[in-house]
Amino acid sequence: MYETNEVRDLAKTEKSIDIAVPAEQVWPMLLWDRLPEWLDVITAAEYTSPEKDRVGATAHVIGETAGVRAEWDIEITEYDKPRKATWRTTGGNLTAIGVTTLAPTKTGTRLSFMIDSELPYSILGKIINKLVVSRSFERSIERGLAKLKSMLET
């Protein structure tokens, strides 16, 4: 495992969307067990710790993109409700760090999402990861954010 400040050759995805509701309405949808409701790349997620809204909370997650199934465990490393959450993988076949931030706008909230990820591939597999899997993942994130916006604004 690596620290969040370590520089690696990972597939990086960064996306933002403005949602016309306050951060307090967006935040509950960002909990891991709610992600499958709007983010199709996450097929299942369940908290493995008694608490889910604090530093040290853990979850088990299953996802799929571009026909590649991944299963991993996460730990929340920073939690500032309803502004920012940071997490890292602690096990499974995905290595990743992620940051979600919410910032007020004139009409609601800007949700920003960043993830650096790496699947356990050979050198050729890592090239395929960057060319195929990460592009599919990026499109899934865009679709998910649009779905979340639609869900919250109706």
Q: What pLDDT is attached to residue 132?
A: 65
11-153 CATH fold: Alpha-D-Glucose-1,6-Bisphosphate; Chain A, domain 4 (3.30.530)
Q: How far apart are the C-alpha atoms of 26 and 29, rounded to whole Å?
A: 6
- pTM for the whole structure: 0.84
Report residues of the chain scoring pLDDT below 70: 1-10, 119-133
Per-domain residue ranges for the chain?
Answer: 11-153
pLDDT of residue 134: 72
Assign 3-state DSSP to the chain and report helix, strand, coil percentages, each to 5: 30, 40, 30
